[in-house]
């Protein structure tokens, strides 16, 4: 499924094995990426956008499976806040993903899919792979790195681990470490996938439909965390779906049930279940402070970038306190940082949705 | 499993079929209950305690399967806030349950388990059954009805639908209607159960182990909603389970993962998956206002009870705003009501845990 896409997409294969935080190495890593806008002569106008858990490289171009517009089409393009008439924008599928970059569905050295033989990766491993991509493209220092949610984690990890490689770091709706509640929700999703007998210990490639039901349940649970209680109430409330009265049965009586079921099923068409396991695990492992001796400020001590942190008041997945925690660490090392909590009704998903105030913040910071 | 327990427990079988909100009737309803303390001569000292979603009648006596103390042992007993030296306390397993009362695991008229032939029930149906129990016991007017979470929903439904049957109504950590987010989380749980092939369309009785994996995932997801983010952080943070370093695998590295997995698996030993479907459905259907012409105040217009509402500041499942919504409705009909938001770190589960302030509120209101 996913590997077929890589053939049509831009991709490179890294020359050297990718060293991983686990101590292992991953040979022959392919990174699939998209780019938009012209790279200028001195290669100083490049912006690297990092995608979120279930995102991909199609930040501003239509998705090859769903046909939907790019996931940040509203933010990236000519004349848009990240203006591709001025900047060269790169977005790569993360290692461990399923849209063309090397992941658990890819063939291992023996030709068979890695499945659960794929090494457990971290956010820093994802970033390391993308720095190798920049090296391959001859881009030394970026105009900016930008990301929301897991993309923001990568932006912060990039700043901490590759100082001097970006002028600006924009991290939206994110955190420098996964909380117990974050881990708990991911663990529910993983258990839902692994409870599905079609998962077959991860060896489902070419053997049946895969753990679609389990992955669908995982997506449903995750989706609730992306939305605010207020947003759900406004969007659905207790309204019934295509009926006048309750059915006194187990059909999707309520619109919110129907919506969630659809979100769950649609997700399985475009995402590999093992990739979901690996990427959620990478997020759970994130603790930037722990990586840098236990003190978050030390993670940013060598950075020379300007930072901008954005949170949303209704985001309960990575609430404002998590951004503030990062801001305090940046303050402690006198790093230039601006921080804003925006008001938006959509919860965590606000970073992907119509929030004009975010457009203005992004545009102002990038320019 | 569950039906064996009923033989040793107190139970009655209702003479008349139980009329249900769906329009159906349920014949031969058995209600299993426990009682504590002496009923006085004029039967004026009875308190009915309603249990929560996964609770049961063993409010203050050890659970016959787990051997654990009663779920509200700290609150109910001689000299305790609900003092069984003074009051006769009754707690019945809800209809639709699996601890001896008639539910989906019970034999239908044809002798086979109802399974999904069991009618969909509502919170009002649960209350109606317990009023029939009171009638059978000759108890006209209760000293109080008391409940937390789904127990609180029953207490409010009792007040609304059976005015004149209780002097006091104490509803803790609850709501008068299930929100879109509440429904969404329950739907995830139901889908997890129904995605498990061992569910077999509900006909798993005597045919294998039942949907243990699906029910376990459902319980894990629900459990997160019972705890506060702060509580999880305090209890687990990012601490590892029985290891010095991350395993770079999919074992339960983090304590919170190990805890959730245990909670999920332990639950399947004592709870019937179909009962979980039916009881969550009943909760999702709750909308006391809708039942009473669309205006919540009208639900309480005929009540002559005194009310007490208690919420917890860290409860994000049924947050304080939901209790306040009920209080405003009671104010609108000039019903006597006291309301307190207690500070406790445990989230929704605070009503079951060591919160001395709750003990004082309960004791003060009951006396």
Long-range contacts of A238-245 (CB under 8 A, 24+ apart): A238/B177, A238/B178, A238/B179, A238/B180, A238/B183, A238/B287, A238/B290
Q: Is the dihedral of CA A23, A26, A27, A29 positive or negative?
A: negative
Secondary structure element (H or E) that encloses residue B195, with its range: helix B180-195
User: B-contacting residues of A 304-343, CB under 8 Å?
Assistant: 316
Among B21, B205, B190, residue whose Cα is nearest residue B104 = B205
pLDDT band, residue B2 (cuts 50/70/90):
very low
- Residue A110's alpha-carbon distances to A2, A18, A20, A101, A106, in angstroms, are 19, 18, 20, 18, 11
Asked if B181 contacts A229 with a C-beta cutoff of 8 angstroms, the reply is yes
User: Is B315 in the active site?
Assistant: yes
The partner residues of B322 in beta bridges, in order of sequence, read none
CB neighbour class for A331 (10 Å; exposed up to 12, middle 13-18, buried from 19)? middle
In this prediction, residue B9 has a pLDDT band, given cuts at 50, 70 and 90, of low
List of domains in chain B: 2-178+286-366 (3.40.50.1820), 182-279 (1.10.1740.110)
Report ipTM for this prediction.
0.94
pLDDT computed for residue A9 by the predictor: 63
Under 8 Å between Cβ of A305 and A161: no
Task: Point out the residue among A181, A217, A264 whose CB comes nearest to the CB of B224.
Answer: A181
Q: What is the residue-level pLDDT of chain A in tens, covering all 367 positions?
A: 222 233 346 999 999 999 999 999 999 999 999 999 999 999 999 999 999 999 999 999 999 999 999 999 999 999 999 999 999 999 999 999 999 999 999 999 999 999 999 999 999 999 999 999 999 999 999 999 999 999 999 999 999 999 999 999 999 999 999 999 999 999 999 999 999 999 999 999 999 999 999 999 999 999 999 999 999 999 999 999 999 999 999 999 999 999 999 999 999 999 999 999 999 999 999 999 999 999 999 999 999 999 999 999 999 999 999 999 999 999 999 999 999 999 999 999 999 999 999 999 999 999 9
Cβ-in-10-Å burial (0-12, 13-18, 19+) of B15 comes to exposed
Give the percent of chain B with pLDDT over 70. 98
Confidence class for position B3, pLDDT limits 50, 70, 90: very low
Closest Cβ–Cβ partner in B116, B197, B285 for A197: B197
Quick check: A257 contacting B, CB < 8 Å?
Answer: yes
Q: Are residues A188 and B284, on separate chains, in Cβ contact within 8 Å?
A: no
Q: In whole angstroms, what is the distance from residue B99 CA to residue B3 CA? A: 7
User: Which one is catalytic: B196, B315, B323, B350?
Assistant: B315
Please compute, for residue B276, the number of CA atoms within 13 A of its CA located in the half-sphere on the CB side. 30
Among B4-13, B65-74, B323-332, whose mean pLDDT is lowest?
Answer: B4-13
Chain A residues in contact with B184 by the CB 8 A cut-off are 220, 224, 232, 256-257, 260
d(CA A198, CA A268): 13
Q: Cβ–Cβ of B188/A260 closer than 8 Å? A: yes
Q: Are A53 and A47 in contact (CB under 8 A)?
A: no
Could you list the residues of A known to form a binding site for substrate, using ranges: 219, 349
For helices B212-226 and A180-195, the axis angle rounded to 10 degrees is: 170
Q: What mean pLDDT is predicted for residues B165-188?
A: 98
**Per the CB < 8 Å rule, is A256 touching B187?**
yes
Q: Which pair of tokens denotes residue B165?
A: 């049957």
Please report the pLDDT score of residue B240 as a whole number.
96
Instruction: Give the pLDDT band of residue B5 (cuts 50, 70, 90).
Output: very low
The pLDDT tens digits for B47-70 are: 999 999 999 999 999 999 999 999
Q: Which tokens is A211 given?
A: 């753990």
């Amino acid at each position: 499924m996913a590997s077929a896409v890589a053939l049509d997409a831009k991709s490179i294969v890294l020359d050297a094995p990718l060293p991983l935080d686990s101590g292992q190495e991953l040979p022959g890593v392919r990174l699939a990426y998209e780019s938009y806008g012209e790279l200028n002569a001195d290669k100083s106008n490049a912006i690297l956008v990092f995608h979120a858990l279930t995102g991909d490289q199609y930040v501003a171009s239509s998705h090859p499976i769903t046909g939907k517009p790019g996931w940040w089409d509203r933010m990236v393009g000519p004349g848009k806040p990240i203006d591709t008439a001025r900047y060269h924008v790169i977005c790569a599928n993360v290692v461990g993903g399923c849209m063309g970059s090397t992941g658990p569905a890819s063939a291992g050295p023996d030709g068979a899919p890695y499945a659960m033989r794929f090494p457990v990766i971290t956010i820093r491993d994802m970033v390391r792979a993308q720095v190798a991509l920049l090296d391959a493209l001859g881009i030394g220092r970026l105009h900016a790195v930008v990301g929301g949610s897991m993309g923001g984690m990568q932006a912060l990890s990039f700043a901490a681990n590759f100082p001097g490689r970006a002028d600006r770091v924009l991290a939206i709706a994110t955190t420098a470490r996964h909380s117990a509640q974050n881990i708990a929700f991911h663990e529910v999703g993983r258990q839902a996938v692994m409870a599905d007998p079609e998962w077959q210990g991860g060896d489902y490639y070419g053997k049946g439909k895969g753990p679609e039901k389990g992955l669908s349940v995982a997506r449903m649970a995750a989706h609730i965390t992306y939305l605010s209680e207020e947003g759900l109430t406004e969007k659905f409330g207790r309204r019934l779906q295509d009926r006048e009265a309750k059915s006194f049965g187990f059909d999707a009586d309520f619109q919110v049930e129907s919506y969630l079921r659809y979100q769950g099923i649609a997700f399985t068409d475009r995402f590999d279940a093992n990739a979901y396991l690996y990427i959620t695990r990478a997020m759970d492992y994130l603790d930037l402070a722990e990586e840098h001796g236990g003190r978050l400020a030390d993670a940013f001590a060598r950075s020379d970038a300007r930072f901008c942190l954005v949170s949303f008041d209704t985001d309960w997945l990575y609430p404002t306190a998590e951004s503030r925690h990062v801001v305090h660490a940046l303050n402690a090392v006198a790093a230039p940082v601006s921080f804003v909590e925006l008001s938006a009704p959509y919860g965590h998903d606000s970073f992907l949705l119509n929030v004009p105030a975010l457009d203005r913040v992004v545009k102002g910071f990038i320019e």
